Structure 1
Amino acid sequence: MMIDGVVPYFAKNHSLTVFSISDPELLDREKVDNVEYIRFPRKNYRLMVAEELKNHHFDIIHVFNRPKNVNLYKMSSPNSKIVLSLHNDMFSEKKISRIDGEEAIEQAAQITAVSDYIKTTVVNRFPLAERKINVLYSGVDLDRFKPVWTEDGERKRRQLRDKYGIQDKKVILFVGRLSKTKGPHILIKAMEEIVGKHNDAVLVIVGGKWFSDNRINGYVNMLYELAQPFKDQIIFTKYIPSSDIPDMFLMADVFICSSQWNEPLARVHYEAMAAGIPVITTDRGGNAEVVIHGFNGLLINNYKNPKHFAQAVDYIFSNQDHAKLMAQTGRKLIELNFCFQHVYERLEKVYDRALNKE
């Protein structure tokens, strides 16, 4: 779930305050579209939020991905109900002690997880969470994601392909951080077999070392070296602002999430489907909860083997009717289940349960 995606819906019927990290380009306090924004420096953020909570009455305090903050905020506002949302495995032994974890679960009125995979990681270690935790899948803004077969989508597709000089190519798209866990090196290695069957194939890698960070580290340098023999058949765009990401999908003939780690459930799956692009992903973590093999995409079990990615890409390129059907199915799945209107409606029910209205 993205906070800014559901805020407009809640602002229509609720008094809403959003606490966030300070930004030099934004005011520390402001009210925009009936939403109050309060921003604190990162260094003392949690303590400053806790202090601020003492000056307000909130029916619900929604804590995102920081179970260690639940007890602190509950002490500051004991009459508020706490809802905790998780989009990572924040209850692992590496992240939280058993005592702190049990206390956070006890103090939270409701807990949501971004996937059944994340829910399971919590319940396996803390069975007492079972009665409070529910899966709350994320979503996208359909106004920002126009499918490739629309007039607007086709126009943007032509513009981007012109920009990158790939007008008549078969375009494979990767979007994500350039890290080993995301697996772009696997895709580069797969290109040798792919171009052997499709010499007009191009791999476009969108992303930097970290969010908004284009610095070169050892892994990124290794990617450039791996890509060197392919010359202009592998393109690195580096970091692309999030506002431009919806359009980037439109240049692709297939999108690949090559995750090597247990993804909580990567947002790029929703985004690619919303754009009407066929999806290939690994069965790591929660990915397979929204991508069903052969129905709205292809799943790869042997995620470390470049050959399996090459075979999946070859299938998409060689079976255009099925690829188009999977893309259309993916878009319909988003329209019916995974836009921000749906997230809002599901979260409203979570709030009602927290307030004992259900």
Structure 2
Amino acid sequence: MKLAFVSSEKLPSPAIRGGAIQVMIDGVVPILSQKHSLTVYTITDELLPNYEVREGVTYIRFPRETYVRDIAASLKQNAYDVVHIFNRPKSIFPFKEASPSSRFVVSLHNEMFSPRKLSDDEARRCMNYATKITTVSDYIRKTVTDRVAGSDDKVRTVYSGFDPSTFHPRWSDKGREIRKAIRSRYGVRGKKVILFIGRLSPNKGPHLLIEALGTVLKKHPNAVLVIVGGRWYSDNAINDYGRRLRALAKPYGRKVIFTKFVPANKIQDYFLMGDVFVCSSQWQEPLARVHYEAMAAGTPIITTNRGGNGEVIKHKENGYIVRDYQSSASFARAIDYMLTYRKEARRMALNGRRKVDSAFTYSHVADRLEKVYLEAFHSSPTPL
């Protein structure tokens, strides 16, 4: 098949500036390109050429300001069998008009079928034009099928994943080596490291972990909280929320460490730093990819029951789920449990690594996507 990926316009591909969508694209492209002709449309970036071919994959980059228009013009000139639009359902309208013979797959990584994003008419038209729609979780799938009656057969959950060649579990020789090195770099050897990795946003909830730290330190005086991330992916500017976090952290001195943004190709090492990883999401998380990554690293996980998180983390099976997600005391209890009952935490971590190895590698993701593309390819193009 001749495939085209249309990445979202927020961040470039490859994922030199992070981004869950871009990281996922990077993961499946090498696998899918072995059997199919693949072009990736993405935004321009000062570090990347506007056109290049990498290991047989064509990358075409257009400015953010004219992104949709430029891609539509390119689609008109290139006959793709299947066009995969990532997280921008409205783009299907100009793209379908530009290439009516193509089959379109729309993947949803957020609540993009929300009434705030699409009108009722737009939601129905998108469903009509798309041959298939994929979602990153059953939670997101339900937001679509609840919105558009009769859409169940067209919408399929395709979970994301990880690259097993780059994530070495902490009990492996390589994992132990990396863990020792990165803990030395940040001066936390011999400490109990509570790890947060994500954007510094109220929706992600790192303030609750700082608020919980005082309680945790009463039982675990050698604990430290390491906060990995920037305001917005590669943006390390400190906004009002960033200042609030630093004000909360100030009384703890070196007990709270901010690393700033870490590139996607280095983040796997940071997961190995933690004795427990906490996803403190406050919003209805579609299904944060950090869960796959923490499981892959063999780091015990605490998460919230928000959105799709509970679809891959089962309470006290491969992680610990905090249900009172707005309570710092609840996070303190969860962290205390994981730091106190180390054998239990290790059992959950081992279960987590087995889970991702068995179902959530990028090979699994690529296979699931390929089935969707083949079904779309063997379907008649939907009419305008």
Task: Give the aligned partner of residue 259 of structure 1.
Answer: 281
1:291 corresponds, among 295, 313, 316, to: 313
Task: Give the aligned partner of residue 273 of structure 1.
Answer: 295
Task: Give the aligned partner of residue 154 of structure 1.
Answer: 176
Give CA-to-partner distance per residue, 1:54-81, whole Å, 9 cap, x none: 1111110110000001121111111110
**Structure 1 residue identity aligned to 2:296:** A
**Structure 2 residue identity aligned to 1:52:** S
| 1:1-358 map, 5 Å | 2-356=24-378
Secondary structure, in 3 states, of the residue corresponding to 1:314? helix
Q: CA deviation at 1:25?
A: 2.0
Secondary structure, in 3 states, of the residue corresponding to 2:104? strand
Distance 1:221 1:342 in 2: 41
Secondary structure, in 3 states, of the residue corresponding to 1:127? coil
Give CA-to-partner distance per residue, 1:160-186, whole Å, 9 cap, x none: 111111111000000001110000000
Distance 1:241 1:25 in 2: 14
Distance 1:173 1:20 in 2: 32
**Structure 2 residue identity aligned to 1:263:** E
What 5-or-longer segments of structure 1 have no aligned partner? none
What 5-or-longer segments of structure 2 have no aligned partner? 1-20, 380-384
Distance 2:205 2:278 in 1: 10
**Structure 2 residue identity aligned to 1:274:** A
Distance 1:28 1:239 in 2: 25
Q: CA deviation at 1:128?
A: 3.2
**Structure 1 residue identity aligned to 2:37:** S
**Structure 2 residue identity aligned to 1:296:** N
Question: Normalising to structure 1: TM-score of the pair?
Answer: 0.98
Question: Normalising to structure 2: TM-score of the pair?
Answer: 0.92
Q: Which consecutive aligned stretches of 4+ in structure 1 deviate over 4 angstroms post-superposition?
A: none
Secondary structure, in 3 states, of the residue corresponding to 2:368? helix
Distance 2:150 2:104 in 1: 16
Secondary structure, in 3 states, of the residue corresponding to 2:272? helix
**Structure 2 residue identity aligned to 1:20:** T
Q: CA deviation at 1:324?
A: 0.5
Q: CA deviation at 1:213?
A: 1.1
Distance 1:314 1:180 in 2: 23
Give CA-to-partner distance per residue, 1:106-156, whole Å, 9 cap, x none: 000000000000001111111232220000000000111110111111111
Distance 1:4 1:209 in 2: 23
Q: CA deviation at 1:24?
A: 1.9
Distance 2:284 2:114 in 1: 13
Distance 1:261 1:25 in 2: 33
Distance 1:174 1:80 in 2: 42
